[in-house]
Chain A
Amino acid sequence: MSGVLALNRPIASAWRLRLPGPDTFWAAAFALPYAAIFLFFVLYPVIFGFWLGSSPALYTELFSSPLYLTALANTLIFVGIGVNLKMALAFLLSGFFMRKRKWVKALLVIFILPWATPALPAFMSIHWMLNGEWGFLNSVLDALFGIDGPIWLIDRWLALGADLAAYIWKQLPFWTVIFLAGRMSVPRELYEAADVDGATGFRRFVHVTVPLQANLYLVCTLLSTIWTFGDFNTITFISGGGPSMSTEVLATLGIRYAFTMSVPSLGVAAVLSALPLLVPIMVLLMRKLRTSDVQL
């Protein structure tokens, strides 16, 4: 189980002993395109971003702004609940999709559809579905239960809940499939052995499935946390940050500062202020990805 990314260090030092041949030229030439992309489109913007957001005054301004503090709280709620709920559901559902029934396999094809549908059309549809007066959801509530549904998107908490639901709707299938693949890679014999030992049902889940999948689960959760911090589309197209900017998150607020209010440095600062939370996750994740065989 040599880590795919770890392979480079030990092997690289072994190869260094060899004389540089014509291969060195080829190896460098093949590495060049990615190195160029990294320099021009990652390193430069990262440094430029740090430079833009380097003034401490920006951060005192941010922390005295109620708008920013609301967005920070929303981000924590959105990421905290969104990622964990989604991952837990995905993990449980992956167990359901392990069933060897024809209809379950057919169901998986339908279940994947939200992920295959581009974000924008899907979120626009959900946005109109939640319209208080003529939205589909309230029509359904009315037809089935005779309830007058709320006007979803004019209340901060309902709007944030709608953002979360749409986020889970869109992302759940992808992670379910990942966990499904993780479960499938476990040899059957292991479960048969557990069965012989009397570990079935819940016991099997706790003592066999969970320990085997724990590492994958951790890596996926960390990765998803980072990506969710940067989620711009869900908030923008479901609640639009409204009502009156009460459901903004850092990713959308940064863009609003930079392009609607034309203070790019403040926008960058809003985004950079998430770094104390993000950096530990990034470091842990890079270490995990480097030393284990988990591939996403």
Chain B
Amino acid sequence: MSATISNRRKRSKLYYRVQHYAGEIACLVLGAVLVIWSLMPIYNMWMIALNKHDAIFEGGLWPEDPTLEAFRVVVTQDFWYLAQFWHQFGNSFYVGFMVSFLTLFIGSLASFTVGRLHLKNGWMLTNAALMTYVIPASFLAIPMYRIMQIYGLANNLWSVIATLTTFATPYAIFIFSQYGKSIPMELDESARIDGANPWQIYFRIYLPLMAPALVAVGTYALLLAWNEYLYNFLLLSTPGSMTVAVALAQFLNSDESPWNYMMATAIIYAIPPIVMYYGSRRYMAAGLTMGGVKG
């Protein structure tokens, strides 16, 4: 160690200044690379959506003659793949918000009962959640498809809602149990002395204090639902019950598809989760990654 320090002393001020600027420049270059890397597919999306249909097949780095025509077609449902676009958009919202709501509700109840009511054999519940967490969702797709038919939920939005809630809840339970530890038990005890029953403690004390974690997990569940394709595709088959994800993928069935319409649809579809994410980003930092770790 002492050798390093004496070596350091010998180096001139100039050396450090050069080193400093070289480091800064390297960082700027890295930053530029990251911006290009992150934005290229998103730029491409806009470029195709703003192009005329024929112009897409000429290549090019920007739309020669940008037009909002594709967006008009999507918004007015003026193409047969898009005939039920707003209805399907509504379906996506319905699924997304139901999954968020149920994940929050079921997850918070479970973490409350394990962490604060000290449910007898509560470890079974946590282990069940843990087991669900380590199963890749797509691996259950085939049996799940059959089971939804047995339950009579085939081609019903609730089949997708149930599946996605199942896969989102374990995460909610972990985050809530972790976050719940920061809420003092004394609050529960004093509420109990005042005559509150567990439901009142849950609803009046636990939930309000969990707000940041609720926002984070709710956003997570919404993003999960919005990213999901496989279960949507398997479980929903008629245009009326489809979500936008399935409708979008239909464009790929034909080689003649108007890609500008597809990309305009994709952009409109991508907006809600992005807005939601950036809107709740503050809480995401507090809740989602809160844990990063502690040892």
Contacts and interface: CB of A to CB of B under 8 A. Distances in A.
A18 to B, nearest CB: 9
Interface residues of B, number: 113
Contacts of A114: 38, 41-42
A46 B140 contact: yes
A82 to B, nearest CB: 14
Contacts of B134: 223, 226, 281-282, 285-286
Among B105, B132, B139, B198, the one with the most A-chain Cβ atoms within 10 Å of its Cβ is B139
B293 A236 contact: no
B212 interface: no
Interface size class of A (residues with CB under 8 A): 35 or more
A293 interface: yes
Interface majority SS (helix, strand, loop, mixed), chain A: helix
Interface string B263-283: 100110110011001100100
B123 A42 contact: no
B88 interface: no
A161 B133 CA distance: 28
A136 B40 CA distance: 9
Contacts, number: 333
Given A233-B229, A294-B293, A125 B132 contact: no
Contact of A258 (B43, B60, B142, B289): B142
B112 A42 contact: no
Nearest to A278: B136
A197 B5 CA distance: 9
Contacts of A22: 197
A129 B109 contact: no
A213 B44 CA distance: 36
B192 to A, nearest CB: 10
Given A33-B110, A110-B39, A117-B270, 5 more contacts: A34-B169, A34-B173, A128-B259, A129-B41, A289-B174
11 contacts: A5-B130, A20-B120, A107-B35, A120-B248, A120-B249, A134-B57, A134-B58, A173-B38, A179-B292, A229-B136, A286-B131
Interface of A: 1, 4-5, 7-9, 11-12, 15-16, 20, 22-24, 26-28, 30-31, 33-35, 37-38, 40-42, 44-46, 48-49, 52, 93, 96, 99, 103-104, 107, 109-114, 116-122, 124-126, 128-129, 133-140, 142-143, 169, 173, 177-185, 197-198, 213, 215-216, 223, 226-227, 229-233, 236-237, 240, 251, 254-255, 258-259, 264, 267-268, 271, 274, 278, 281-282, 285-286, 289-290, 292-296
The 9 A-B residue pairs with the shortest CB-CB distance, nearest first, are A230-B136, A181-B292, A121-B266, A295-B291, A181-B289, A30-B113, A8-B123, A26-B198, A182-B292
